[in-house]
Amino acid sequence: MPFLFEKIVFVWWILFIITMSHGIRLEYPDSDSSEEMRSIRYDIKGMGRKMVHYINHINATWKAGYNKRFENVDMRVIRGMMGFRPLSDHLRPQLPVKISSRLLGDEDIPDQFDSRDNWPQCPTMKEVRDQSNCGSCWAFGAVEAMSDRACIASLNKDKPHISANDLLSCCSGCGFGCDGGDPRAAWEYWVSSGLVTGGTFITHDGCQPYPFAPCDHHVNGTLKPCSHDLEPTPQCKKQCQSSYTVPYTQDKHFGKRAYTISSDVKEIQKEIMTNGPVEVAFSVYEDFLTYKTGVYKHHAGSPLGGHAVKMIGWGTDGGTPYWLVVNSWNTDWGDKGLFKILRGKDECGIESEVTAGLPKTNHVKRNRGLIENTY
């Protein structure tokens, strides 16, 4: 009997060695319509390797890659970074829906548009910020677009770096700070209360710089790894750092009006090409964490939550129309911090939650011979 057991173990071991020497081939469904593809999950310990193989196997419009960032990180932390938390209907600001100028026709919309090229003199336009391990995307998407729009509306004379920390910590009506917030409330707060300036954790300039250090999101990059827990919401302090000479109340930058844009693609395009980047929100699925290049379209994995970002343009890649979007996970993630997502199909709800506004300024902005100052 012992001899028989040893023989079985020996045969099993030989088969194992042969299998490993020839490699293990992963089998995937030929179509992403299969129920099987929905069951593919982002394996934390395996850095999403099975999902990466799947995406790159099905001839998708985008490429996936391995992400060191999430190794051994609790899924609670990952979900916590998805900070789009719309307020309940009775608390959510009822912003007006802006209609584009009648002087701008559909024929004026170019096939490709990039705000960075259209307004090269605005320094924040090219910036990719880092929210760190805080669900502050709702604040980042807002202040990034506000900063850009202030520069555009002032004809490049006012170039503020609006503070994400001031909005994150002091707008109690926006939501829950590092536990998420509502972009509409953020833009309304800009109009009613104003926001001070504030650089990144590294530059540490302006009135209220961001308090959390940048870290490696979703990739083994050049920065230190992010902490394995969520950051707490900073305390609201209505004062500037000691090295900044302008008083808090005098450093405020205000919005003139806040509004939403309909989900119509052309309306979104006209708004961006006239007044600058907008803030958008969309549903994040596990496969988005593996994004590297190309035009993202959801193929696999479960939903992780809502995420808010800055949309700066559009174009076509290999015949696939896309929106060009800036994330807030630093330049090590995705395509140097940016991503493209399918345009015209409301992919993951990207066209259903568009918010923007106009800054208070003494300048009248002219763009393509138009004066944009009305709804």
Helix or strand run (H / E) with residue 64: strand 62-64
Helix or strand run (H / E) with residue 273: helix 265-275
Question: Torsions phi, psi of 202, nearest 5?
Answer: -75, -50
End-to-end CA distance of the chain: 88
Output the six-digit token pair for 319: 């015949």
| Rounded Cα–Cα distance for residues 284 and 301 (Å) | 10
Question: Torsions phi, psi of 169, nearest 5?
Answer: -90, -25
Would you tell me how many other CB atoms lie within 10 Å of the CB of residue 5? 9
Would you tell me how many other CB atoms lie within 10 Å of the CB of residue 48? 28
DSSP string, 17-35: HHHHHH--PPP--SSTTSH
| Catalytic site includes residue 161 | no
Catalytic residue from among 217, 218, 299, 307: 307
| Catalytic site includes residue 327 | yes
| Catalytic site includes residue 207 | no
Catalytic residue from among 67, 165, 275, 327: 327
| Rounded Cα–Cα distance for residues 297 and 12 (Å) | 42
Catalytic residue from among 122, 134, 137, 348: 137
| Rounded Cα–Cα distance for residues 122 and 198 (Å) | 16
| Rounded Cα–Cα distance for residues 98 and 373 (Å) | 11
Catalytic residues: 137, 307, 327
